[in-house]
Every structure is written in C-alpha cells, then in structure tokens.
Amino acid sequence: MDIPVSTRATTRTRPESLRHSRTWDAGVPCIAEARDAVDALLSRAHLAPERRAVQDAQLVVSELVTNAVKHAPGPCALGLELSADLDELRITVTDTSVEPPRARPHDPGRVGGHGLNLVNLLSDGLQVTPLPHGKRVAATVPLTGA
C-alpha cells in the first residue's frame, strides 16, 4: 500500500542541545549557576528571545531552586527543556521534600515570601508531581513576546 508523501508520519528527534540538567548531591547549589544554565541553553540552541523573556526564565529558575534548597534536605536537580517550536522553556526542579510549595498571601510589607507568586505571574503556573522520595515542581515560561 502506498501512502502519499503528505500524509506520512515523521518522527522528529530532539537534539540534546535543547535540554540541560544538573544535579546537586551535597551542599548548597549555586543559584547563579542555575540562572547561567538558562543563558547557556538558549545560546546552544541559537535562540535569542527578547531580554525580558530570558530574565523571566532566570527569575523562575532562581525561585524554584532557592525553594528546593531552603525547604528540602538533601539533593536537588534542575532540568531545562526547550519546546519543539522553541517558544517555551520548561523548568523542573526535583527535591526531597514531599510537601508541595505554597504561595503566601500578598503582603507588600513582608520581606521575602513572594517567590511563588512571581513564578505564577511569569509562567504558565506550577505543576507539582509527587515522587517516591520527594517531588518535582515544574513551570513553563514563554519565550515569545506577550
């Protein structure tokens, strides 16, 4: 049976350059290293989104890794993955705490505790996946102009 070329399924493989992962087994991870990973991944993919999108992604990475370090003992991991069309960056942070992150109520007089609210504003929201020994927190940041 002949299948017309226009209806043949194609499999698109994702180059490794569209992903980045880093695990910190002991000690406190360098938050700047996590932010730098965003720039490095976008550079490897030859992608130059507007500067605001890069800064948003870096802030989301900073907040998620900081929460993992602050609230979960033990190792944590960072995963970055560009979407196939290169218009979104999926950020995942895995840690050893089974407690889901909780955003605090808005309080402009409070110092600190605003990170998850920022993540929710800058991304498509948080997805939390329970794991046998912790959780995975993920957020997707748009890389195209709003």
In 3D, which of 115, 124, 116 has the Cα closest to residue 146?
Answer: 124
pLDDT of residue 146: 52
DSSP characters for 19-35?
Answer: EEEEEE-SS---HHHHH
User: pLDDT tens digit string along 120-141?
Assistant: 999 998 999 999 999 999 999 9
Angle at 72 between CA 96 and CA 20, to 5 degrees: 65
Tokens of 25: 């087994």
pTM, two decimals, is 0.81
Top CATH class of 19-142 equals alpha beta
Please enumerate in sequence order all residues whose Cβ is within 8 A of that of 86, keeping only pairs 6 or more positions apart, or say none: 18, 45, 47, 143
> Is residue 10 very low, low, confident or very high in pLDDT (cuts 50, 70, 90)?
very low
User: pLDDT tens digit string along 78-115?
Assistant: 999 999 888 999 999 999 999 988 877 777 776 666 78
